[in-house]
Chains A and B, each alone.
Chain A
Amino acid sequence: MSLHPTSEGTVARVVLITLSLAFLGFFVLLPLLAVFSEALAQGAGPFLDALHTPDAFAAIRLTLIIAAIAVPLNMVFGVAASWAITKFQFPGKALLITLIDLPFSVSPVVSGLIFVLLFGANGLFGAWLAEHDLKIIFAVPGIVLATVFITFPFVARELIPLMLEQGKDDEEAAISLGASGWQTFWHVTLPNIRWGLLYGVLLCNARAMGEFGAVSVVSGHIRGETNTMPLHVEILYNEYDFVGAFAVASLLALLALVTLVAKTVLEWRFGLHAGARH
């Protein structure tokens, strides 16, 4: 028996820490290193050349456009949903939260399929869209829709626990002092939730830029037109252009690393609140 009856002995600690670090190193760190190593396998020249192509540029541009549309939409939705859910009492609230979370439990491929069934050539609105010369599937609107669906819960999910914890005393005080609803929102609520909002937006953005399965189903993989960065990675990889595939992949990995650093910094700033969130 150890001298500290509510903790483990030094040997046990070292073994457990080593085991978990080895597991993380093997399963998480090694794949990350592989991305950069493979991208630079033939030196910096081929790496930069692989990025300096019209197709890569088009893919980066499209990914930025998709995120620029999908993220603000979900941000507005997340704030509205959190306001309704945390500031008011009404029956059916738990069901509403479950429904908002629903996209998280749907396979990415199915998330793409549903929009094909709605707007594809043989879909519910397919004939009508064709008649009016509108294209959603195998075009940018379809990619936006699938991305909005996939990232739907991110902002709301971060804001709801935060705003529940903050309560509504500040807002009620502002209203009783004569502030209008919008004034209360802009000057009281928004400053209170800004870091949590940024946190949700960061995670939402990372997923929006990196989504593969759902986008793959609706995109049609038209080079230079409907190819996002993750889809471009797949195309290059399937053409055995490994340096090219890993070069584009390394940009996405960098985005993931930046997201993680920003997320960790925000968690430090939250400090006191982090425990109550889940």
Chain B
Amino acid sequence: MITLSNSSNIFGVIVMNGAHDLGGMQCYGAIRIEKDEPIFHDEWEKRVFAATMVSFGALGSIDAFRHAIERMGAERYLSTTYYEHWLAALEMRIEETKLHSKAKSDTPLTSEDVDAIVPTGGSYSREVANAEIRFAIGDRVRAKNINPAGHTRLPRYIRGREGEIVTNRGNFVFPDTVAHDLGESAQPLYSVRFESAELWGSEEEGRDAVYIDLWDSYLEKIE
């Protein structure tokens, strides 16, 4: 099992429990629905979208990119628009991977490559020989109470809560290590059901539930 450190600080930036981890907060106002919303609002948004999409090969994993957004800082994250997050992360990844000082590649991505990549994508599931399956469908589990210094996909509102294993989705690469170039650590991913009453303690929403995908490293058995 992977040890999730509470003390190491991988990039020298404290990013634990960042502003991106929004589940359960109530301070962001009404949901505003834009009628007939365009796919992009401005020309630069299209261009930052495209520049990001073609850069994953050169600038690292999608989790490293997500983690760059998480490291923007709370004030900046909350006061900028969605594609400004992408732009900021792209700039950070260019710095971190030292793209400026890299040699020129002689195989630039072509339009044909794009036509091939979009409908293919990249699989995140892995065959793992003798993977340890610790949980069966119906098992009661608790999400660990962790506060790691780096990237994680275990939201705060789930930590420490008890739920039930619903599905074993197979072995998937582990974002907490992939984001930091520490290997794929592929491991079982489970769909876990948490009752609203367990998460929020509310009578009113008690009949509803959250389903969330959690990796083996996030879970402990309830004895």
The answer to whether A binds B is no
